Chains A and B, each alone.
Chain A
Amino acid sequence: DTAVSQTPKYLVTQMGNDKSIKCEQNLGHDTMYWYKQDSKKFLKIMFSYNNKELIINETVPNRFSPKSPDKAHLNLHINSLELGDSAVYFCASSPTGSYSPLHFGNGTRLTVT
């Protein structure tokens, strides 16, 4: 009965590869997010989707492409991975896009070698 689930939990890959991270929420929330936690532990918003529509794209390189097939899923595809992409990526959801708490998944630790 996990609320926000991400797969995989760990992802190790080489530079130049393409990889995807999947996220699903069973809370019935309308809004989903991707956050990146870098080596300095700073949690930074990447994307926000509301009912499958992109609301926020926070100056993320074009190599990152989110896809929301329905409002319960928000996947993140990353092309041509670079060393600097190594981080922990968190998916989150909220009932609405404002004035309601985010519910986070447990993160995907991406290591690019």
Chain B
Amino acid sequence: DQQVKQNSPSLSVQEGRISILNCDYTNSMFDYFLWYKKYPAEGPTFLISISSIKDKNEDGRFTVFLNKSAKHLSLHIVPSQPGDSAVYFCAASSGTYKYIFGTGTRLKVLA
């Protein structure tokens, strides 16, 4: 039973344009959400998080949006750069020492 889903396994975007990565969750108890970036042969690196009391959090080129009623979050990267090419994981937690990850979306930014 996959509680966190990333339905797009891959995404290609032109350099300078916006990248939008999506994530859906099923557990209404989740109240803390995170995005991670992962390069090959490295561990996931934390990008940005959002608490359920907010609907938007921004950090530089990265913005996360949370739609609680739809149980949906998205990561926007503007402008996209070639160095952003990586696998992106969303994760969710209900404050219980347990973080559930999605299966990832491979982003390719084309120069």
Secondary structure class of chain A's binding surface, majority of residues: strand
Closest residue on chain A to residue B94 by CB atoms = A98
- Cα of A102 to Cα of B89 in the assembled complex, Å: 12
Contacting chain A: which of B58-66, B72-80, B98-106? B98-106
Partner of B45, one of A35, A43, A97, A104: A104
Contacts of B45 in A (CB 8 A): 104
A52 at the interface (CB under 8 A from B): no
Contacts of B101 in A (CB 8 A): 35, 42-44
> A102 touching B87 by the CB < 8 A rule?
no
> A107 touching B97 by the CB < 8 A rule?
no
Number of A-B contacts defined by CB within 8 Å: 60
- The number of chain A residues with a CB under 8 A from chain B is 27
A83 at the interface (CB under 8 A from B): no
Closest residue on chain A to residue B96 by CB atoms = A98
> A45 touching B44 by the CB < 8 A rule?
no
A-B contact pairs, 27 of them (CB 8 A): A33-B99, A35-B101, A40-B103, A41-B103, A42-B101, A42-B103, A45-B99, A48-B97, A50-B97, A55-B97, A56-B98, A97-B96, A98-B93, A98-B96, A98-B97, A99-B32, A99-B93, A101-B46, A102-B34, A102-B44, A102-B91, A102-B99, A104-B36, A106-B43, A107-B41, A107-B42, A107-B43
Report A's interface with B, CB cutoff 8 A: 4, 31, 33, 35, 40-45, 48, 50, 55-56, 58, 90, 92, 97-99, 101-107
